[in-house]
Amino acid sequence: MSEKIRVLVADDEYISRGFFELQVQASKDYELAASFANAEMAVSWCNTHPVDLVIMDVMMKYGLDGLTCARIIKNNNERIKIILTTSTAEFEWIEKARKAGIDSFWFKEYPEITLLEVMDRTMNGESVYPGTPPNPEFGALTKTGLSERELDVLRELTRNLTNEEIAETLHISEYTVKRHIQNMLEKTGYKNRLDLAVNAKTIGLVVHEKDRTKQVKDGNEDCRQMHEKW
Protein backbone atom coordinates (compact mmCIF):
# COMPACT_ATOMS: atom_id res chain seq x y z
CA MET A 1 0.00 0.00 0.00
CA SER A 2 1.43 3.37 -1.02
CA GLU A 3 2.16 5.98 1.64
CA LYS A 4 -0.34 8.78 2.02
CA ILE A 5 0.52 12.35 1.01
CA ARG A 6 1.25 14.45 4.10
CA VAL A 7 -0.63 17.76 4.05
CA LEU A 8 -0.10 20.84 6.21
CA VAL A 9 -2.92 23.40 6.47
CA ALA A 10 -2.42 27.06 7.46
CA ASP A 11 -5.40 29.40 7.66
CA ASP A 12 -6.31 31.91 10.37
CA GLU A 13 -10.06 31.50 9.77
CA TYR A 14 -11.47 28.64 11.83
CA ILE A 15 -14.18 27.66 9.30
CA SER A 16 -11.82 27.68 6.32
CA ARG A 17 -9.19 25.75 8.22
CA GLY A 18 -11.80 23.19 9.23
CA PHE A 19 -12.95 22.85 5.62
CA PHE A 20 -9.39 22.16 4.46
CA GLU A 21 -8.89 19.62 7.23
CA LEU A 22 -12.08 17.78 6.28
CA GLN A 23 -11.09 17.70 2.61
CA VAL A 24 -7.77 16.11 3.52
CA GLN A 25 -9.20 13.63 6.02
CA ALA A 26 -12.00 12.52 3.68
CA SER A 27 -9.56 11.47 0.96
CA LYS A 28 -7.88 8.06 0.87
CA ASP A 29 -4.74 9.59 -0.68
CA TYR A 30 -4.00 12.30 1.88
CA GLU A 31 -3.36 12.58 5.60
CA LEU A 32 -3.30 15.68 7.78
CA ALA A 33 0.25 16.29 9.01
CA ALA A 34 -0.53 19.52 10.89
CA SER A 35 -2.92 22.46 10.97
CA PHE A 36 -2.11 26.00 12.08
CA ALA A 37 -3.80 29.40 12.35
CA ASN A 38 -0.47 31.08 11.69
CA ALA A 39 1.71 30.91 8.56
CA GLU A 40 4.99 31.22 10.44
CA MET A 41 4.20 28.06 12.39
CA ALA A 42 3.83 26.32 9.04
CA VAL A 43 7.33 27.46 8.08
CA SER A 44 8.77 26.09 11.32
CA TRP A 45 6.93 22.77 10.95
CA CYS A 46 8.13 22.29 7.35
CA ASN A 47 11.69 22.84 8.55
CA THR A 48 11.48 20.03 11.09
CA HIS A 49 8.84 17.55 9.86
CA PRO A 50 8.13 15.70 6.61
CA VAL A 51 5.50 17.53 4.52
CA ASP A 52 4.47 16.89 0.91
CA LEU A 53 1.79 19.54 0.36
CA VAL A 54 0.95 22.87 2.02
CA ILE A 55 -2.46 24.53 1.68
CA MET A 56 -2.08 28.09 2.91
CA ASP A 57 -4.23 31.23 2.99
CA VAL A 58 -2.67 34.45 1.69
CA MET A 59 -4.03 36.77 4.38
CA MET A 60 -3.20 36.24 8.04
CA LYS A 61 -4.34 38.21 11.08
CA TYR A 62 -1.04 37.75 12.93
CA GLY A 63 2.54 37.30 11.86
CA LEU A 64 3.79 37.08 8.31
CA ASP A 65 1.30 36.65 5.48
CA GLY A 66 0.85 33.39 3.59
CA LEU A 67 2.49 34.53 0.36
CA THR A 68 5.66 35.56 2.18
CA CYS A 69 5.77 32.30 4.15
CA ALA A 70 5.10 30.25 1.02
CA ARG A 71 8.17 31.86 -0.54
CA ILE A 72 10.20 30.94 2.53
CA ILE A 73 9.02 27.32 2.45
CA LYS A 74 9.86 27.04 -1.24
CA ASN A 75 13.28 28.57 -0.66
CA ASN A 76 13.96 26.04 2.10
CA ASN A 77 12.57 23.01 0.30
CA GLU A 78 11.53 23.12 -3.36
CA ARG A 79 10.14 19.59 -3.14
CA ILE A 80 7.20 20.71 -1.00
CA LYS A 81 4.17 21.55 -3.13
CA ILE A 82 2.16 24.63 -2.15
CA ILE A 83 -1.40 25.71 -2.90
CA LEU A 84 -2.14 29.32 -1.94
CA THR A 85 -5.78 30.20 -1.29
CA THR A 86 -7.83 33.32 -0.62
CA SER A 87 -11.45 34.28 0.02
CA THR A 88 -10.93 37.69 -1.61
CA ALA A 89 -11.26 38.58 -5.29
CA GLU A 90 -7.78 40.11 -5.45
CA PHE A 91 -6.22 38.83 -8.68
CA GLU A 92 -2.91 40.70 -8.38
CA TRP A 93 -1.62 37.97 -6.08
CA ILE A 94 -1.71 35.48 -8.95
CA GLU A 95 1.33 36.96 -10.68
CA LYS A 96 3.18 37.36 -7.38
CA ALA A 97 2.56 33.70 -6.57
CA ARG A 98 3.76 32.59 -10.02
CA LYS A 99 6.96 34.61 -9.68
CA ALA A 100 7.56 33.08 -6.24
CA GLY A 101 7.37 29.58 -7.72
CA ILE A 102 4.16 28.67 -5.88
CA ASP A 103 2.69 25.55 -7.48
CA SER A 104 -1.03 26.38 -7.50
CA PHE A 105 -3.62 28.98 -6.50
CA TRP A 106 -7.28 28.50 -5.52
CA PHE A 107 -10.02 31.05 -4.85
CA LYS A 108 -12.20 29.81 -1.98
CA GLU A 109 -15.25 31.90 -2.85
CA TYR A 110 -14.89 31.71 -6.64
CA PRO A 111 -13.67 28.17 -7.45
CA GLU A 112 -13.43 27.01 -11.05
CA ILE A 113 -12.69 23.47 -9.87
CA THR A 114 -12.76 21.68 -6.53
CA LEU A 115 -9.93 21.93 -4.04
CA LEU A 116 -9.41 18.16 -4.21
CA GLU A 117 -8.87 18.37 -7.96
CA VAL A 118 -6.33 21.14 -7.44
CA MET A 119 -4.57 18.98 -4.84
CA ASP A 120 -4.47 15.94 -7.11
CA ARG A 121 -3.24 17.84 -10.13
CA THR A 122 -0.65 19.73 -8.08
CA MET A 123 0.76 16.50 -6.64
CA ASN A 124 0.90 15.11 -10.18
CA GLY A 125 3.27 17.91 -11.15
CA GLU A 126 0.79 20.39 -12.60
CA SER A 127 0.69 24.09 -11.81
CA VAL A 128 -2.99 24.92 -11.37
CA TYR A 129 -4.00 28.58 -11.58
CA PRO A 130 -7.41 30.19 -12.23
CA GLY A 131 -8.08 30.91 -15.88
CA THR A 132 -10.14 34.06 -15.27
CA PRO A 133 -10.31 36.65 -12.48
CA PRO A 134 -13.15 36.43 -9.94
CA ASN A 135 -15.94 38.77 -10.96
CA PRO A 136 -18.06 39.59 -7.87
CA GLU A 137 -20.87 42.12 -7.89
CA PHE A 138 -19.90 45.63 -6.83
CA GLY A 139 -22.87 47.91 -6.62
CA ALA A 140 -24.63 48.10 -9.98
CA LEU A 141 -21.87 46.26 -11.85
CA THR A 142 -19.28 43.53 -11.44
CA LYS A 143 -15.54 43.84 -10.95
CA THR A 144 -14.77 43.55 -14.66
CA GLY A 145 -16.79 46.72 -15.19
CA LEU A 146 -13.95 48.69 -13.60
CA SER A 147 -10.74 49.50 -15.46
CA GLU A 148 -7.33 48.48 -14.13
CA ARG A 149 -6.56 52.09 -13.24
CA GLU A 150 -9.89 52.45 -11.43
CA LEU A 151 -9.03 49.34 -9.42
CA ASP A 152 -5.63 50.88 -8.60
CA VAL A 153 -7.37 53.99 -7.27
CA LEU A 154 -9.87 51.85 -5.37
CA ARG A 155 -7.04 49.97 -3.62
CA GLU A 156 -5.64 53.27 -2.39
CA LEU A 157 -9.11 54.41 -1.32
CA THR A 158 -9.36 51.38 0.97
CA ARG A 159 -6.33 52.80 2.79
CA ASN A 160 -8.29 56.01 3.49
CA LEU A 161 -5.91 58.17 1.47
CA THR A 162 -6.73 61.65 0.17
CA ASN A 163 -6.86 62.44 -3.54
CA GLU A 164 -3.48 64.14 -3.19
CA GLU A 165 -1.94 61.07 -1.52
CA ILE A 166 -3.44 58.73 -4.12
CA ALA A 167 -2.13 60.92 -6.93
CA GLU A 168 1.35 60.91 -5.45
CA THR A 169 1.32 57.14 -4.92
CA LEU A 170 0.10 56.31 -8.43
CA HIS A 171 2.05 59.11 -10.14
CA ILE A 172 -1.02 60.68 -11.67
CA SER A 173 -2.73 64.06 -11.22
CA GLU A 174 -5.30 64.83 -8.54
CA TYR A 175 -7.74 65.67 -11.32
CA THR A 176 -7.29 62.16 -12.75
CA VAL A 177 -7.88 60.61 -9.33
CA LYS A 178 -11.04 62.67 -8.86
CA ARG A 179 -12.26 61.67 -12.33
CA HIS A 180 -11.69 57.95 -11.65
CA ILE A 181 -13.56 58.16 -8.34
CA GLN A 182 -16.46 60.00 -9.98
CA ASN A 183 -16.58 57.38 -12.76
CA MET A 184 -16.71 54.58 -10.21
CA LEU A 185 -19.51 56.31 -8.30
CA GLU A 186 -21.54 56.66 -11.48
CA LYS A 187 -20.94 53.04 -12.51
CA THR A 188 -21.63 51.45 -9.13
CA GLY A 189 -24.37 53.72 -7.83
CA TYR A 190 -22.61 54.21 -4.50
CA LYS A 191 -23.15 57.61 -2.89
CA ASN A 192 -19.61 58.66 -2.00
CA ARG A 193 -15.97 57.60 -1.80
CA LEU A 194 -16.49 56.13 1.67
CA ASP A 195 -19.17 53.80 0.31
CA LEU A 196 -16.79 52.75 -2.45
CA ALA A 197 -13.97 51.99 -0.01
CA VAL A 198 -16.07 50.26 2.64
CA ASN A 199 -17.88 48.00 0.19
CA ALA A 200 -14.70 47.12 -1.71
CA LYS A 201 -13.00 46.16 1.53
CA THR A 202 -16.00 44.28 2.94
CA ILE A 203 -16.31 41.92 -0.03
CA GLY A 204 -12.55 41.69 -0.66
CA LEU A 205 -12.91 43.16 -4.15
CA VAL A 206 -9.38 44.54 -3.91
CA VAL A 207 -6.77 44.24 -1.18
CA HIS A 208 -3.95 46.72 -0.82
CA GLU A 209 -0.47 45.24 -0.64
CA LYS A 210 0.10 46.98 2.70
CA ASP A 211 -2.95 45.22 4.11
CA ARG A 212 -1.53 41.85 3.07
CA THR A 213 1.84 42.50 4.68
CA LYS A 214 0.75 44.72 7.59
CA GLN A 215 1.54 42.10 10.24
CA VAL A 216 5.15 41.56 9.18
CA LYS A 217 6.38 43.44 12.24
CA ASP A 218 4.77 40.82 14.46
CA GLY A 219 6.70 37.93 12.94
CA ASN A 220 9.61 36.20 14.61
CA GLU A 221 13.14 37.39 13.86
CA ASP A 222 14.09 34.58 11.49
CA CYS A 223 10.98 35.10 9.39
CA ARG A 224 11.43 38.88 9.37
CA GLN A 225 14.97 38.48 8.08
CA MET A 226 13.80 36.08 5.39
CA HIS A 227 11.02 38.50 4.45
CA GLU A 228 13.55 41.31 4.01
CA LYS A 229 15.61 39.06 1.75
CA TRP A 230 12.61 38.36 -0.45
Domain of 23, CATH number, reads 3.40.50.2300
In the chain, how many domains are there? 2
User: What's the pLDDT score for residue 213?
Assistant: 78
Confidence of residue 214 (pLDDT cuts 50, 70, 90): low
User: What's the pLDDT score for residue 139?
Assistant: 95
Percentage with pLDDT > 90 across the chain: 80
Q: Answer yes or no: is 212 within a domain.
A: no
Q: Worst-scoring range by mean pLDDT, 11-20, 53-62, 108-117, 202-211? A: 202-211
**73 compared with 219, residue with greater pLDDT:** 73
Average pLDDT over residues 13-35: 95
Last residue of a domain, one of 74, 109, 134: 134
Q: Answer yes or no: is 83 within a domain.
A: yes
Judge if 25 and 70 occupy the same domain.
yes
Judge if 94 and 152 occupy the same domain.
no
Confidence of residue 87 (pLDDT cuts 50, 70, 90): very high
Judge if 32 and 78 occupy the same domain.
yes
C-alpha span between 129 and 198 (Å, rounded) = 29
C-alpha span between 152 and 178 (Å, rounded) = 13
Contact 32, 25 (CB under 8 A): yes
pLDDT tens profile 123-143: 999 999 998 888 999 999 999
> Which structural domain range is residue 188 located in?
137-203
Judge if 16 and 113 occupy the same domain.
yes
Question: What residue type is 151 in one-letter code?
Answer: L
Q: Answer yes or no: is 50 within a domain.
A: yes
Average pLDDT over residues 7-31: 95
Sign of torsion over alpha carbons 16, 88, 115, 103: negative
C-alpha span between 201 and 159 (Å, rounded) = 9
Judge if 144 and 59 occupy the same domain.
no
Judge if 162 and 129 occupy the same domain.
no
Q: Answer yes or no: is 125 within a domain.
A: yes
Judge if 120 and 143 occupy the same domain.
no
C-alpha span between 57 and 84 (Å, rounded) = 6
User: What's the pLDDT score for residue 133?
Assistant: 83
The CATH number linked to 186 is: 1.10.10.10
Judge if 115 and 151 occupy the same domain.
no
**pLDDT over threshold 90, residue 114:** yes
pLDDT tens profile 160-202: 999 999 999 999 999 999 999 999 999 999 999 999 999 999 8
Confidence of residue 216 (pLDDT cuts 50, 70, 90): very low
pTM of the model: 0.84
Judge if 80 and 120 occupy the same domain.
yes
**What's the first-to-final CA gap in the chain, in angstroms?**
40
**pLDDT over threshold 70, residue 9:** yes
Rounded to 5°, the CA angle 145-147-151 comes to: 100
Confidence of residue 226 (pLDDT cuts 50, 70, 90): very low
pLDDT tens profile 38-79: 999 999 999 999 999 999 999 998 889 999 999 999 999 999
> Of 147, 143, 141, which Cα lies nearest the Cα of 133?
143
Sign of torsion over alpha carbons 73, 75, 77, 78: positive
Using a 10 angstrom Cβ sphere, with 0-12 exposed, 13-18 middle and 19 or more buried, the burial of residue 212 is: buried
Contact 151, 220 (CB under 8 A): no
Judge if 74 and 130 occupy the same domain.
yes
Q: State the pairing for strand pair 141-142/137-138.
A: antiparallel
C-alpha span between 107 and 91 (Å, rounded) = 9
Q: Answer yes or no: is 94 within a domain.
A: yes
Q: Answer yes or no: is 60 within a domain.
A: yes
Q: Answer yes or no: is 227 within a domain.
A: no
Judge if 194 and 180 occupy the same domain.
yes
